[in-house]
Amino acid sequence: MEQNIESDNSKEEISRVTLGDVSPMRLDCGFELKNFEVAYKTYGKLNKEKTNTILVCHALSGDQFVSGINPFSGKPGWWDLVIGPNKLIDTERFFVICPNIIGGCMGTIGPKEINRDTGQPWGLDFPVITISDMVRAQALLLDYLGVDKLFCAIGGSMGGMQVLEWAVAYPDRVFAAVPIATASHHSAQNIAFHEVGRQAIMADKDWCGGNYFNHDCYPKRGLGIARMIAHITYLSEPALQSKFGRRLQDRDAVTFGFDADFQVESYLRYQGSTFVDRFDANSYLYITRAMDYFDLAERYGNGSLAEAFRGTNTRFCVISFSSDWLYQTSESRAIVKALNAVAANVSFAEIDSDKGHDAFLLKEPEFWKVLSGFIDGAAQKYGLNGSQ
Amino acid sequence: MITKITGIIRRDLRLIAGIVTNNSRVLDVGCGEGELLDYLDKNKEVDGRGIELSSSGVNSCVAAGLSVIQGDADQDLDNYPDQAFDYVILSQTLQATRQPHKVLDNLVRIGKYAIVSFPNFGHWRVRLALMMHGRMPQTDILSYNWYDTPNIHFCTIKDFVALCVKLNINIESGIALNRRGFERQIGGKGLRFANLRGEQAIFLLKRH
């Protein structure tokens, strides 16, 4: 395996490695992926005993730039509040790995990347992937980085699905798992929202059957609408109410037209328009599909989630947020119930918050207290002392 | 659940901790802020878990590195498999459960042993308060008004022993604690005396 370090114009480096070169990685759909690249970022140092690794799994629209400044957006990484030197997940102490998922669009293989066989972007020729496929690729990345066992796997939303998949598919490689604001399968409502998003993209004539890269166009409107819909599901009614209410946008009265009269409209339009600049429309289709297909109980437990977890020695900390209606507390409770049924070591806290699903990315002191306590407690049990 | 009088409850927890053997698997139902779990973790190296109703209790337990989930004794014990723990502890919580008999049944099913402590409603002060004043008793340890108390299923030591017999639960040992924290073994002829003098009781139980 070779590692290519590519530098862009900013200070950040993007680490990319070619995996599946010795033998191809078989995907759930049957496709064999060979010589594919995975982009990732690491923070901190792997200790001598190789025991201090924390894998951070990103969500649908996330990327590998979890801490520090994201070189593409120029903004702080998506979990910079939590991860970094002397922060809650202290990179002076832990070796943090954050890979971009397969199917993504930040350097890891996905529909935007060039298919070596054709010299063209994959587009819809890219095989449909699953959460298991993403995790299998991450396991290969860990092999490459020389990490046999994770001290902890952590992630929210789709990142939480990867964490659950890790704990079940590789029980011996995960000492502690923190699935946050997530579920063991996608509900009908989750699938429904994703379907509307996908339909918005595919209904945009600039999508060109997924072939926009050959037609010098881009389904901006469709992807923008998909993001606007999704963004509503990430918030909560009280959050929208307190942030915007019925306040008008730069005007004193409604205009009797379809311009963005209300602040909330203007905000959603902005969210949609900035998203299309950084995200690939086909990637959005593939990743939402992977989430829809996720069903841990069906895959590993013959329909029983408890069976999927049977025999696990991993320490779990399941966390949900009271106002999250996308991945509700009841979904987290179902995971906890299944873990209890096999007498697994599990902690569970519902954090009282009005910020909706996005709360896991925001400043939530109570959440941080719980997370930090769990990580410290687990580190102690794992024999990791204060400083590495 | 009940007001915790430091000296007495600390003693109660210490006595419970004294029963638990080193390196055992323990489930503390109604673990509060995790005092007992923390003590057992540090002093007996147990593999400890907790269930707590209040989210503030859960959050402070998890923040202290303890494995605790939010839940309650009535609803969440059914999930656990048989004999999954060496000890299942229910301290000062039985009287606040909706179905104490089902909870007790679950405790001895999940644990090889169950340790249960509760305030004794047969204590002479309680009896005296009702007899002399004709009002629902309010003592140091039972400090709520009748209308806002979470304690909905009080029992006396005798009631508890009778329920264990009915449920076919074996009482391995029992201790009554009086106001000053003096201990007395409960058993045989001592039962009547313990029921009068014991302010609270601790029982070690096992399924027959």
Q: CA-CA distance, A222 to A110, in Å (whole number)?
A: 19
What is the distance, to the nearest Å, from the Cα of residue A39 to the centroid of all Cα atoms in its chain? 14
What is the distance, to the nearest Å, from the Cα of residue B6 to the centroid of all Cα atoms in its chain? 16
Instruction: Tell me whether residues A348 and B58 touch, CB distance under 8 A.
Output: yes
Shared-domain flag, residues A370 and A239: no
Count other Cβ atoms within 10 Å, centred on residue A156: 29
Taking contacts as CB-CB distances below 8 angstroms, the residues of chain A near B62 are: 317, 347, 349, 370, 373-374
With b for 16 or more beta-carbon neighbours within 10 A and e for fewer, the A74-92 pattern comes to eeebbbbbbbbeebbbbbe
With b for 16 or more beta-carbon neighbours within 10 A and e for fewer, the B31-70 pattern comes to bbbbbbbbbbbeebebbbbbbbbeeebbbbbbbbbbbbbb
A157, A184, A323, A332: the catalytic one is A157
* pLDDT (0 to 100) of residue A202: 98
Q: Residue with structure tokens 């723990």?
A: B85
Tokens of A134: 């993403």
Write the CA distances from A73 to A12, A276, B20, B30, integer angstroms: 12, 13, 56, 48
Residue A157 designated active-site = yes
Helix (H, G, I), strand (E, B) or coil at A10: coil
- Residue A279: inside a domain: yes
**pTM as predicted:** 0.92
Tokens of B177: 């604690």
Residue that is last in its domain, among A288, A309, A337? A288
Taking contacts as CB-CB distances below 8 angstroms, the residues of chain A near B56 are: none
Best residue of A305, A309, A348 to probe chain B, by most B CBs closer than 10 Å: A348
With b for 16 or more beta-carbon neighbours within 10 A and e for fewer, the A161-171 pattern comes to bbbbbbbbbbe
* pLDDT (0 to 100) of residue A75: 94
Shared-domain flag, residues A82 and A150: yes
Q: Which segments of A170-315 does DSSP mark as H helices, in order?
A: 188-203, 220-234, 237-243, 263-278, 281-293, 296-301, 305-309
Q: What is the DSSP string of B175-190?
A: EEE-TT--EEE--TTH
CATH code of the domain in which A273 resides? 1.10.1740.110
Instruction: Tell me whether residues A349 and B76 touch, CB distance under 8 A.
Output: no
Q: Are A163 and A312 in contact (CB under 8 A)?
A: no
pLDDT tens digit sequence for B16-52 = 999 999 999 999 999 999 999 999 998 999 999 999 9
Residue A291 makes CB contacts below 8 A (sequence gap 6+) with A60, A131, A158, A161, A186, A190, A194
Shared-domain flag, residues A172 and A241: no
Q: CA-CA distance, A283 to A234, in Å (whole number)?
A: 19
Instruction: Give how far B148 is from chain A: nearest CA, Å.
Output: 25
Taking contacts as CB-CB distances below 8 angstroms, the residues of chain B near A353 are: none
Shared-domain flag, residues A49 and A135: yes
Q: CA-CA distance, B194 to B159, in Å (whole number)?
A: 12
CB hemisphere CA count around B173 (13 angstroms): 8
Taking contacts as CB-CB distances below 8 angstroms, the residues of chain A near B70 are: 348-350
Q: How would you write the pLDDT of chain A (388 residues) with one tens digit per residue?
A: 444 444 343 334 569 999 999 999 999 999 999 999 999 999 999 999 999 999 999 999 999 999 999 998 899 999 999 999 999 999 999 999 999 999 999 999 999 999 999 999 999 999 999 999 999 999 999 999 999 999 999 999 999 999 999 999 999 999 999 999 999 999 999 999 999 999 999 999 999 999 999 999 999 999 999 999 999 999 999 999 999 999 999 999 999 999 999 999 999 999 999 999 999 999 999 999 999 999 999 999 999 999 999 999 999 999 999 999 999 999 999 999 999 999 999 999 999 999 999 999 999 999 999 999 999 999 999 999 764 4
Which numeric CATH code is attached to B6-121+150-207?
3.40.50.150
Tokens of A7: 């530098």
Q: CA-CA distance, A80 to A94, in Å (whole number)?
A: 15
Q: What is the DSSP string of A109-147?
A: SSTTSEETTTTEE-GGGSPP--HHHHHHHHHHHHHHHT-
Q: CA-CA distance, A273 to B7, in Å (whole number)?
A: 64
What is the distance, to the nearest Å, from the Cα of residue A119 to the centroid of all Cα atoms in its chain? 29
Instruction: Tell me whether residues A373 and B62 touch, CB distance under 8 A.
Output: yes
State which amino acid sits at residue A141: L
Please write down the HEC assignment for all residues of A351-386.
ECCCCHHHHHHCCCHHHHHHHHHHHHHHHHHCCCCC
Shared-domain flag, residues A170 and A223: no
Q: CA-CA distance, A211 to B103, in Å (whole number)?
A: 62
Nearest residue of chain A to residue B85 (CA atoms)? A343
Q: How would you write the pLDDT of chain B (208 residues) with one tens digit per residue?
A: 333 334 444 678 889 999 999 999 999 999 999 999 999 998 999 999 999 999 899 999 998 999 999 999 999 999 999 999 999 999 999 999 999 999 999 999 999 999 999 999 999 999 998 999 998 888 776 788 989 999 999 999 999 999 999 999 999 999 999 877 777 888 777 888 899 999 999 999 999 8
Residue in B61, B64, B67 closest to A346 by CB: B67
Q: Residue with structure tokens 């996908």?
A: A198
Instruction: Tell me whether residues B59 and A366 touch, CB distance under 8 A.
Output: yes
Report the Cα–Cα distance between both ends of chain B, in Å, rounded. 29
Q: Which of residues 23-82 of B touch A (CB under 8 A)?
A: 47, 49, 55, 58-59, 61-71, 76, 79-81
Q: Are A222 and A202 in contact (CB under 8 A)?
A: yes
Taking contacts as CB-CB distances below 8 angstroms, the residues of chain B near A317 are: 62
Q: Residue with structure tokens 């060979």?
A: A34
- Residue A386: inside a domain: no
Shared-domain flag, residues A19 and A146: yes
* pLDDT (0 to 100) of residue A1: 43
Q: Are B85 and B26 in contact (CB under 8 A)?
A: yes
Best residue of A313, A347, A381 to probe chain B, by most B CBs closer than 10 Å: A347
- Residue A387: inside a domain: no
State the total domains in chain A. 2
Helix (H) or strand (E) holding A19: strand A13-19
- Residue A24: inside a domain: yes
The candidate with the shortest Cα–Cα distance to A82, out of A47, A46, A56, is A56
Taking contacts as CB-CB distances below 8 angstroms, the residues of chain A near B33 are: none
- Residue A295: inside a domain: no
Let me know if A38 is exposed, middle or buried by CB neighbors in 10 A (0-12, 13-18, 19+): buried
Q: CA-CA distance, A358 to A220, in Å (whole number)?
A: 24
Sign of CA dihedral B37, B38, B39, B44: positive
Shared-domain flag, residues A202 and A319: no
Residue that is last in its domain, among A288, A319, A336? A288
Instruction: Tell me whether residues B65 and A373 touch, CB distance under 8 A.
Output: yes
How many contacts does A have with B, using Cβ atoms within 8 A?
64
Taking contacts as CB-CB distances below 8 angstroms, the residues of chain A near B49 are: 345-346
Q: Kind of pairing, strands A53-57 and A150-156?
A: parallel
Residue that is last in its domain, among A239, A256, A288? A288
Instruction: Give how far A152 is from chain B: nearest CA, Å.
Output: 14
Instruction: Give how far A134 is from chain B: nearest CA, Å.
Output: 29
Residue in A343, A350, A372 closest to B63 by CB: A372
- Residue A177: inside a domain: yes
Residue A277 designated active-site = no
Shared-domain flag, residues A109 and A173: yes
CATH code of the domain in which A39 resides? 3.40.50.1820
A184, A324, A353, A358: the catalytic one is A324
* pLDDT (0 to 100) of residue A82: 98
Shared-domain flag, residues A196 and A77: no
Q: Which domain holds residue A261?
A: 190-288
Write the CA distances from A128 to A184, A199, A230, A366, B131, integer angstroms: 20, 17, 21, 38, 77
Q: CA-CA distance, A133 to A292, in Å (whole number)?
A: 14
Shared-domain flag, residues A141 and A261: no
Best residue of A320, A340, A351, A364 to probe chain B, by most B CBs closer than 10 Å: A340
Evaluate whether ipTM surpasses 0.90: no
Instruction: Tell me whether residues B70 and A351 touch, CB distance under 8 A.
Output: no
Q: CA-CA distance, A179 to A164, in Å (whole number)?
A: 7
Shared-domain flag, residues A55 and A130: yes
Residue in B47, B58, B79 closest to A341 by CB: B79
Length of chain A: 388
- Residue A293: inside a domain: no
